[in-house]
Structure 1
């Protein structure tokens, strides 16, 4: 049964956020349609959802597909062009929810935590954060458009092309006795469980408004994240740290490798919408671990490896810094002499 016949359309519906959001909105009683450019090889349409192909380059066809929906969720908008497309939905849909990124916040000098009111990057830049920031400005300036813009940290959850937590998950699977972390293991960089992103999307759909909200997990240090993953996996390992950045051979490397803490405030989401996580951090880790272990095992059976499951990790950080086990063993042996 749908709730009063409410309909939702998810652009990028077969991606990581799209799948989690579809499941959440279906559970809330929405009739859900997933829009995608082409089906992903591993994409499965959730029971009860519809699926349609949408060419985003054809604005007329896109708007026609979106017309009349109670909520449109856009998980793949990243440029002012996409913002101009979505702006034309004012008066044609009930509300919008658009995924942005915390990378729009202007640095250096970030406060701890960062509120949504902190300035965003300059208009004249031409990179991914600047494109997202320009997208946000255009949408928020559109009269009569209830658009919720969600600024995420680094996503984690099933079906992603990247999983920062893999740096610890693989070590546990490999039964490593220790891990070495740079920056004294104190780095904090926001992560966002997709199940909780989907929860906040559902709240925004229920309470339309023009707003900007952060969405992130608890602000743990990288050492705390490693300890939580090892505990969830029942693995005992020593976490060894040193000051300063990671070494060129990868010793100390981790994807949270920033010298100053980056923490998102969640006060606004809690105050305005009563947000609370749909899944605890440990339960989100269990979802990550179960899916990642199975996906990597399948890739290895086909002659590949974890790099095929998480190509975006390699694209962001390169191939040379991951899992330098010999360097770790030598460092720990030297430290204990």
Structure 2
């Protein structure tokens, strides 16, 4: 039975990966600081929880132990995070690091977190230019996040150990700390009669189901090597598509109101021009998605709605995203 250790295995990407591997015959352990946050479905699948702080060297050493066939790092944000792994990789068959499409820049140096949206001119492949790396560890900013991810990637890829970097985008799934679908789910729960869609709902930003990222992890687990792969869903819904899917899933009917400006009607997928990731490299290595966006996001929509209007992430929600007064004023002025 092959063995896997997932650092940050109780988060969205980690838990999906742990569950897939456990259900496919792997001996799986996950780390997390609080055993009480261990998802029940992981425990039921036989996944072991190892209490560990990712940035505590002694705890990391104890968690990795004598080594594993596969090490998945869902908590690698900085060069220092990556360096802390290196002493342990001699006993690891293959390493996978979750990164982000936030590292990519267009010809003008713009990226997804720039004040101006990037324009890549077509599908973004792994050879696309990236931000310059930042080695300062300040990743909790819009500018610093992608730069520190680039630095972490380089440390692992230059280490001489087989490491696969997966660049995900707009991750979704059951267990998200703040599901983006909440933008439309809450409007359904609040009984909104109309949904406003900036740029006519044409915007799109390639999503990644956590279960599809897990499928790619499993595909590369037995193919150790140093590489970068885009990790995303097989299809790319627009904002309009997602609004319709949420309403249909929850049995709600509303008027779809296209707004040609950026406001009102902003939503998390309002990216114009849209961003599409090239999945050719992942597909060539055996990536077979669990399903398309509609199939994989439906459980997450139902899960988010099950909490009602005050979900666990309520304190994290920007109330400006739910400015119904402004929406009503727009509708009245049509």
TM-score by length of 2: 0.87
The structural deviation recorded for 1:282 is 1.9
Aligned to 1:245: 262
Flag structure 1 segments of 5+ consecutive residues without an equivalent.
none
- Could you say which residue in structure 2 is the equivalent of 1:154? 170
Match of 1:20 in 2: 16
Number of residue pairs aligned between Structure 1 and Structure 2:
312
1:155-175 Cα shifts (integer Å, max 9, x gaps): 111111111111112222333
Q: Which of the residues 289, 308, 313 maps onto 1:277? A: 289
Aligned residue in 2 for 1:57: 55
Q: Choose the corresponding residue for 2:195, options 144, 160, 179.
A: 179
Residues 1:319 and 2:319 aligned together: yes
3-state DSSP of counterpart to 1:88: helix
Within 5 Å, which residues of 2 pair with 1:1-337? 5-41=1-37, 43-44=39-40, 45-47=42-44, 48-66=46-64, 67-106=66-105, 107=110, 108-124=118-134, 127-143=144-160, 145-217=161-233, 218-246=235-263, 251-273=264-286, 275-294=287-306, 296-297=307-308, 305-306=310-311, 308-309=312-313, 311-312=315-316, 314=317, 318-322=318-322, 324-335=323-334
Q: TM-score, normalised by structure 1?
A: 0.86
- Distance in 2, matches of 1:311 and 1:150, equals 30
Q: Against the structure 1 CA distance between its residues 40 and 309, is the aligned structure 2 distance closer, same or farther, given a 3 Å change threshold? A: farther
CA distance in 1 between counterparts of 2:37 and 2:82 reads 28
**1:276 & 1:325 partners in 2: Cα distance?**
41
1:103 Cα deviation after fit: 0.3
CA distance in 1, matches of 2:288, 2:245: 20
CA contact (8 A) 2:134 2:148 kept: no
CA distance in 2, matches of 1:123, 1:22: 30
* CA root-mean-square deviation: 2.0
Q: Helix, strand or coil: the match of 1:176? A: coil
Q: CA deviation at 1:234?
A: 2.9
DSSP 3-state at the match of 2:283: helix
Q: Is the 8 A contact 1:232 1:285 kept in 2?
A: no
2: CA distance between counterparts of 1:159 and 1:311?
Answer: 16
User: Could you tell which deviates more after superposition, 107-116 or 40-49?
Assistant: 40-49
Q: Which runs of 4+ in 1 moved over 4 A?
A: none
Q: 1:68 to 1:232 in 2, by over 3 A?
A: same
What is the rounded CA distance, in whole Å, between the counterparts of 1:105 and 1:278 in structure 2?
Answer: 26
CA shift, 1:40, in A, is 4.9
Q: Structure 1: how far apart are the matches of 2:82 and 2:7?
A: 13
Distance in 2 (alpha carbons) for counterparts of 1:71 and 1:93: 6
Q: Is the 1:161–1:310 Cα contact (8 Å) retained in structure 2?
A: no
Partners of 1:202 and 1:211 lie apart in 2 by 15
Distance 1:229 1:77 in 2: 32
Distance 1:124 1:79, change over 3 A: closer
Distance verdict in 2 for CA 1:160–1:334, change over 3 Å: same
Q: For 2:39 and 2:102, how far apart are their aligned partners in 1?
A: 28
1:10 touches 1:72 (CA, 8 Å); kept in 2? yes
Unaligned runs of 5+ in 2: 111-117, 139-143
The 1:116–1:12 alpha-carbon spacing in structure 2 relative to 1, beyond 3 Å, is same
